[in-house]
Amino acid sequence: MYTEKVMDHFMNPRNVGEIENPSGVGEVGNAKCGDIMRIYLEVEDNIIKDIKFKTFGCGAAIATSSMATEMVKGKTIEEALQLTNKAVAEALGGLPPAKMHCSNLAADALHKAIEDYKNKQKQKEQEQNK
Amino acid sequence: MRRVYLDHSATTPVRPEVVQLVNKYLTETFGNPSSVHAFGREARKGVETAREQIAALIKAKPEEIFFTSGGTEADNMAIVGTAMANQTKGKHIITTQIEHHAVLDTCKSLIKQGFEVTFLPVNPDATIDLELLKSSIRDDTILITMMHVNNEVGTILPIKEVGQIAKEKGIIFHVDAVQSFGKLPIDVNEMNIDLLSASGHKIYALKGTGCLYIRKGTKIAPLFFGGSQERKRRPGTENVPGIVAFGLAAHLAGQEMEAEAERLTKLRDKLIDGILEKIPNVQLNGHRTNRLPGHVNVSIRYIEGESLLLMLDMKGIAASSGSACTSGSLDPSHVLLAMGIPHEIAHGSLRMTLGKGTTEEDVDYVLEVLPEIVEKLRSMSPLYNSMKLENNEECSKCTQKR
């Protein structure tokens, strides 16, 4: 039911882990639904220098997390914001229809992490202005 | 790669003796049992032998066995057939919250037709409260339908006690024995069972064959019309190869039952004890001892069932889970939820059901591979780390208090 690419990213996930003192963290889903994705960012000069994820969920949830991190690593914040859940699924050669909604949330988690990064930046600027 | 099949509650391979017999009935003895000629008579003989073999296994009379297309049809026939034939007496049915969907959904379909159904809650180990059952019985209760063994967690339900209660109240008692038939002793008289569903492919026979035992004198309406087969209760040309396969498999299951139950219980307990010992934060689902030989169901916390199944599959191990991804809905298994298991723990359930081909080496292999897979998935899980931290915090608090 899963493509070879999905199975590859599931069995050998890229960028698993956490980042200490991350520039931003984003999380979507909840344990009750059976899916949680958490993405950690390290941003330098507006570029995603490092990205890590931790995911509780099915094969599709883990594979999309892995693929999403791979797709935006080294990209600018603006480029990363362009990433959609649909694009992640397409890069994996597609997902079973039932998985398109419940497990394909990696881009959302990424966007939340970027939002967190931007909020932190604003806070820093405000503190500096004081 | 080693291949270990641990999904015998889903289906089983057809045993060689049965394959041989089926082959004969596909090629030589292919006649229609309703035909007058020798081809037909030989096929008829095969069907009637199977009926005797199945009846013998549950201490019934051969004429009380009616062949169906499987367990689901037998459940439908028992419940809808009883409801239709007895609705002038009453329109209330009692069942449990942990039945197979073949029973649950059939009962729900009757609600739409004006019947009332009580779905009894269960204890955390999937057993039922007999007092609650007694208090649920009404004057208009016409049927109690209950499984013998729960397919997901393996707990054995107190069928004999329920049968006694049903008999005293004059209520028809149907048992869905799909998981227990051929594996546990069943005596329809001693257990006061009026209707009983069984399936062939769970006991090393073919898919697409099952039967309903109907105690003589039980009022039941047919679901199908169109011929005189199965004494008009289940018309349609008999699935002769499937029926003879079911009969032989039932006969052999009866002969081997005691020894096989003992063997599987040992392997099951080794697997359960090994998992609980080697993997932290794991719970057994279902009753510890009062469970089907060869049935294991555990919840492994902080990981999700489907990803666990996929990784086991990559190591050649076939199992199943009650997670939402595998239940075909957004919620995890209705059985685990009815037992009061929280969603997040139900998502991490793993069912391994052992069978004829399972060896001790297979169990050892699972005990070697499973902890590694769990560790790998937990290392990816955001829940696991935060739990570790919480535990550490708790521990440090404890130390501080001391």
Q: Show the tokens assigned to B63.
A: 């004429």
Contacts of A18 in chain B (CB under 8 A): 385
The model's confidence at residue A32, banded by pLDDT at 50, 70 and 90, is: confident
Q: Which domain holds residue A23?
A: 4-117
Percent of chain A at pLDDT exceeding 90 = 82
For chain B, say whether A54 makes contact (Cβ under 8 Å). Answer: yes
Would you state the pLDDT for residue B324? Answer: 78
- Output the pLDDT for position B401: 37
Nearest residue on chain B to A63, judged by CA atoms? B307
Q: What kind of fold does domain B16-254 have according to CATH?
A: Aspartate Aminotransferase; domain 2 (3.40.640)
Model pLDDT, residue B386: 61
Using the predicted structure, report yes or no on whether residue A60 has a pLDDT greater than 60: yes
Which SS3 state, helix, strand or coil, does residue B319 take?
coil
Q: CATH 3.90.1150.10 in chain B, residues? A: 4-9+257-401
B349 touches A at CB < 8 Å? no
Residue of B nearest to A13 (CA): B380
Interface test with B, best of A12, A32, A56, A65 (most B CBs within 10 A): A56
- The reply to whether residue A34 touches residue B303, judged by beta carbons under 8 angstroms, is no
CB distance from A27 to chain B under 8 Å?
Answer: yes
Regions in chain B scoring below 50 on pLDDT: 391-402
Tell me the per-residue pLDDT of B45-64, one tens digit each, with 9 for 90 and over.
999 999 999 999 999 999 99
CATH of the domain at A45: 3.90.1010.10
- Do A27 and A57 meet the contact criterion of CB atoms below 8 Å apart? no
Give the DSSP H/E element, type plus range, for residue B43: helix B38-57
Distance CA B178, CA B305 (A): 24
Instruction: Give the pLDDT score at B399.
Output: 37
Q: Which of B347, B357, B274, B265 is nearest to B308 (CA)?
A: B347
**CATH number, domain B4-9+257-401, options 3.90.1150.10, 2.40.50.180, 1.10.730.10, 3.40.50.2300:** 3.90.1150.10
Instruction: Over range A49-70, report the average pLDDT.
Output: 96
B10–chain A Cβ distance below 8 A for any pair: no
The CA distances from residue B195 to A87, B79, B143, B228, in Å, are: 54, 9, 10, 21
Looking at residue B392, its pLDDT comes to 46
Look at chain A and report how many structural domains it folds into. 1
The answer, yes or no, to whether ipTM is higher than 0.90 is yes
- Please tell me the distance in Å from B88's CA to the nearest CA on chain A: 44
- B245, B205 Cβ separation under 8 angstroms: yes
- Is B325 touching A (CB cutoff 8 A)? yes
Taking CA–CA distances from B306, the nearest residue in chain A reads A58
Q: Do A58 and B302 touch (CB under 8 A)?
A: no
